Homo-oligomer: A and B are copies of this chain.
Amino acid sequence: MTVREILETHPHPAGGDLDARVRCIEACSECGITCTSCSDADLAESDVQEMVRCIRLCLDCADVCDTTRRVVTRQTEADVGVVRAALEACIVACRGSREECERHADHHEHCRICAEVCGRCEQACADLLASIG
């Protein structure tokens, strides 16, 4: 199964750029997993006291990515304003998490990876946002 395959079985697929939608769903899914995993790895680090802001922002980002993924996956009777607002919130949450993870990227490999994944998700949300006008 691919995300594209399941979206294409919808009786009335959403208009707009299907590629951008697929990439956004995949990116939100990857980012939800990665932020859950990064905040969890932070908790187990010996310098957890220095990772508190990273944990908090990754928890927010995981929640926002999971919700945005659901909103974007639904194609029936979408309200473009709601979709846009979810994407905008996701871009801000990913940016917050990415910027904090970048500060720890040289000493925590999970932060280096998480920063990259958050950056890709920001971009995928921005691309879908641009395509829906």
Binding site for B on A (CB under 8 A): 1, 3, 5-7, 9-12, 25, 29-30, 33-34, 36-38, 40-41, 43-46, 48-49, 52-53, 55-57, 59-64, 66-67, 69-71, 73-79, 81-82, 84-86, 88-89, 91-93, 95-96, 108-110, 113-114, 116-117
Contact B71 A63 (CB under 8 A): yes
- Give how many copies assemble into the complex: 4
On chain B, the residues within 8 Å of A5 by CB distance are 113
Contacts of A78 in B (CB 8 A): 56
Judging by beta carbons under 8 Å apart, are B52 and A49 in contact? no
Which residues of chain B are near A81, meaning CB under 8 Å? 92, 95-96
